[in-house]
Every structure is written in C-alpha cells, then in structure tokens.
Amino acid sequence: MTKTIITKARRIVRDNQLEPIMVVIEDGKIVAMNSGIIDEEGEVLDAHGALVMPGLVDVHTHLREPGFEAKETIVTGTKAAAHGGYTTICAMPTLNPVPDTPEHLKVEQDIIEKDAVVKVLPYASITQNRMTEDLVELSLLAKSGAFAFSNDGNGVQTEDTMRQAMTEATKLHKAIVAHAENKNLMAGGVIREGKFGLPEWKPETEYEQVARDLKLAKETGVHYHICHISTKETVDLVRKAKANGVHVTAEVAPHHLLLAVKDIPEDNALYKMNPPLPTQVDQEALLTGLLDGTIDMIATDQAPHTTAEKSGSFREGAFGIVNIEQAFALLYTKFVQTGIFTLEQLQKWMSTAPVKAFNITNAGQLHIGDPADLVLFDLKKEFSVDPKDFLSKGTNTPFIGWELYGETRLTMVDGKIVYRKEL
C-alpha cells in the first residue's frame, strides 16, 4: 500500500475564490480531502500554495505515431501533455496506418500501452484512409476500443457518406467528430482576408459544411462534435441548433481565442493553422459563444511538425501549432487574470466539460474514490515560453517569449507522478 499526501494546496471554491486543501492518495485513488492537519504517515508533497485541479482533458491531440515519428511520438506527445497538466487526451487518426480497421487501430493501441505516460483514447477514422468515401466498419472499431470517429484534417465531402456514418454512430452511441472543411471552397486558401496577398481561406469553407452536418445530425440523432470552430457564422449555427434540440457540441482552440489575423506580423508559417486565425469579429463571436455555453469546451488541436515543415512562407508551410504545454497558462494569464473568465469556468472548459460531453469515465473530477488524476498549477510565478523547456518534439508556436502565469508544477495519473517541476 502506497500513500501520498499533498499538503498546502488550494482548490477552486467558486469563481476565483480558493480555499486550502489537503489531498490524500492511496493506491492510486483519492481517499481523503480536507483542510486539516496531517495525522497519518505517507510521502508528503508540499504544494506551496499551488492550485490543485482535476487533470485536464483534451479531446483533440495529434500524437503522430505510428507513421510520423519525426514530428512526434507517443512518448514525447504524452510527456508534453503531462507537462501541460493533461491526464487524459484523445488522439486523432492522422496516422500511418490510419486506424480504419481493428488491426490498424491495434498498432496504435500497442504503442499507447507501452509508451504513454497519460491516458490516451484513440479515434478511428470515419472513412477508409480518411480520404475516401468508403465507410469504415464502425461497429468493429467501436468494439476494438475506438473512442469516437473523425476524419480529422479532412471534411467528409459527400452528404450521403456523412449521413451513413452518423446513422451507424448513433446505433453505437459514439460521436462523429468533424473537421468541417468543404474542399470545393478551399481554393488553396491559407489565411483569412488574403493578408500579405496570400490565398484567402474563406469562412464558408467551414460554416457551409457545418450547416449541412447539423441538418444530418438532427435527422439521425447522432452526437455531432465540431472541432476548432473559428467563424461567427459557425457559432451562430451551433447556437441555433442547440436551441432546436440537436445533439451538438463544439470546441474552440486556445490560439483562436488568443490571436487574430490582425496579430500576424509577417508571412511566417508559425502562424499558419487550419482553420486559420480568425478575424477580430470572429474572435469576439468565439469568446461570446464560449461564455454563453454555445461552445462547450477548449481543446488544443496540438499539431507538432518538424522545424523544416514550419519554416518560411504560408504558401509552403504545414498547418498546425503546438500549445498543449502552455494552454492553461496562456488562458489563465490572458483571460482569468484580466477578469474575462473565472478559474471555475476555465476548469470546466478544460476538464469537466469534455468529460461530460463524451461520457469519459474516471477523468475530469476530484472526488473521494476517483483515480488521482490531478495537476498542480503555480499561479504566482511568472515564466517565459521557451522551446528549450518543451517536452514535445514540436516547437512550432508563435507564443515563444510570452510571459505567463500558471506554470505546471506537478501532474499525477492514477496517483503516479508523470511530470514534476521542483517547488
């Protein structure tokens, strides 16, 4: 029997109000939480006043392995997640082989079992190889452990294919998780408003496919989840669909809340994402949608690339950003410290809301009897975003040099320390 006692921590009571808390962990589970004096033996971890929260949950992470190990591996990707305070992450199917059969899914699952330091829930693709119109065997993949179904990086282009996928997923009580993108409208677009004379990514590329899918979601009753929404029109569509009883949930990525197209200083591929950074009007709509409940959660869309792939112009550079190691600190510094969010809201959007939306078990909460999946954040000490501190292979972020608060001090999964910075 092993026992760990976290002392001198603080937890959120409501809004930004904190109270002292001591957490006692035994054999990987929380067995007591109180503000009293230690009266039992065990390993004592002094939190020095750090905030204790349920481990963060990310429903949109790219781990790249198998197939693209130069960008990331399950070892480095899950260590990066732990560094960011995440204890459960959902891995997108942008892999080789694509997890489109139970055999291909098992390749990924075997590596997760061997190498992951946090809990990883793998997606399966919606169609064969993520790029065809041929549906996977959803029932076989669900039985084999697929978390949900997504063609991440590719929108499902044919209405009938999406209808069939939603119909099958409904029977299986699994979500269809959509990267909404109409290829016919892409036209090589890489940036909003055609800034710097670059090809324009038009907002209807996203929202027209969302409109189609919401109609199908109402028809089939599926849980339809929209990845990284980025336009005002999409927010409006989701708000209306929820009011009409459609089972739709949506996520927003930190970078879309923090940066707009006006903030891009030059033609630099570090600012190239898919969907692209929004206009200021879109960004304001995203914030409003998050605050009023239209948008359910924050998900990172962590997408590591090699340095070569993110060098140079928007025209040639890969889409994607790494942010999982700083997501909490970025949002805490820019929104909680400025009074736009409360800590309670941030905890909900990054931890409890994704668990509720996807019915994820044993995650996103701190109750007696729960697995000790938790994180300690230091809200007082300032730190700078520096690639030398990254545990991900990817350093493709425009946030380098940002001064932040909310540094991760310790992350536990099932009572085991998976990341620790000495307090």
Q: Which of 301, 386, 389, 414 is catalytic?
A: 301
| Residue 24 sits in the same domain as residue 62 | no
For residue 365, being part of any structural domain is answered with no
Tell me what the mean pLDDT of segment 259-275 comes to. 97
Quote the pLDDT of residue 152: 94
pLDDT for residue 34:
85
Of 61, 54, 90, residue with least CA distance to 347: 54
Q: Assess whether 281 and 171 both reside in one domain.
A: yes
Give the mean pLDDT of 405-413: 98
392 and 305 in a single domain? The answer is no
The whole-angstrom separation of Cα 33 and Cα 23 is 5
Is pLDDT larger for residue 400 or for residue 37? 400
Residue 363 in domain: no
Cβ count within 10 A of residue 368 = 11
Task: Tell me the pLDDT of the chain averaged across its residues.
Answer: 96
* Residue 42 sits in the same domain as residue 101: no
CATH number at residue 257: 3.20.20.140
Which of 337, 358, 379 is the last residue in one of the domains?
358
Instruction: Kindly report the number of other CB atoms within 10 A of residue 316's CB atom.
Output: 12
67 and 115, same domain (yes or no)? yes
Q: Do 308 and 335 belong together in one domain?
A: yes
Q: pLDDT (tens digit, 9 = 90+) per residue, 97-131?
A: 999 999 999 999 999 999 999 999 999 999 999 99
At which of 310, 325, 358 does a domain end? 358
Does 423 have pLDDT greater than 60?
Answer: no
Q: Read off the pLDDT band of 77 (50, 70, 90).
A: very high
Phi-psi label, residue 406: left if phi above 0, alpha if psi -120 to 50, beta otherwise? left
Q: How far is residue 29's CA from residue 4's CA, in Å, rounded to a whole number?
A: 10
pLDDT, one tens digit per residue, over 362-389 is 999 999 999 999 999 999 999 999 999 9
Please report whether residue 88 resides in a domain. Answer: yes
* Number of structural domains the chain divides into: 2
What's the rounded mean pLDDT across residues 397-401? 98
Question: What number is the average pLDDT over the span 142-170?
Answer: 97
**pLDDT the model gives residue 2:** 81
Judge if 25 and 122 occupy the same domain. no
Residues in contact with 123: Cβ distance below 8 Å, sequence separation at least 6, in sequence order: 90, 91, 92, 93, 99, 146, 147, 148, 149, 150, 152, 177
Q: Is residue 206 part of a domain?
A: yes
Give dist(CA 423, CA 409) in Å, integer. 7
- Are 116 and 19 within one domain? no
pLDDT at 422: 72
Q: 110 with 203, same domain?
A: yes
Give tens-digit pLDDT for 171-216.
999 999 999 999 999 989 999 999 999 999 999 999 999 999 999 9
Considering the domain architecture, whether residues 185 and 264 belong to the same structural domain is answered as yes
Cβ atoms of 124 and 100 within 8 Å: the answer is yes
Tell me: pLDDT of 151 over 90: yes
Active site residue 263: no
Bridge partners of residue 52, in order along the sequence? 376
C-alpha 259/C-alpha 276 separation (Å) is 10
Instruction: Write the single-letter amino acid at 65.
Output: E
**pLDDT above 90 as % of the chain:** 94
**Angle of the 74-83 helix axis to the 102-115 helix axis, nearest 10:** 60
| Inside any domain, residue 270 | yes
Per DSSP, helices labelled H in 294-362 are 327-331, 343-347, 353-358
40: domain CATH number is 2.30.40.10
| pLDDT bracket for residue 69 (50, 70, 90) | very high
Residue where a domain stops, chosen among 358, 383, 412: 358
- Where helices occur in 134-231 by DSSP H, the ranges are 138-143, 159-172, 183-186, 204-220
Residue 138 and residue 127 in contact, taking contact as beta carbons nearer than 8 Å: no
Instruction: Show the tokens assigned to 245.
Output: 């009883």
- Whether the pLDDT of residue 36 is over 70: the answer is no
User: By the 8 A CB rule, do 343 and 366 touch?
Assistant: no
Handedness of CA 422, 60, 186, 234 (dihedral sign): negative
Identify whether 364 is part of a domain.
no
Task: State whether 300 and 282 are in the same domain.
Answer: yes
Average pLDDT over residues 286-300: 98
Domain extent for 93:
55-358
Indicate whether 379 belongs to any domain. Answer: yes
Q: Quick one: what percent of the chain has pLDDT higher than 70?
A: 98
Same domain flag for 342 and 406: no
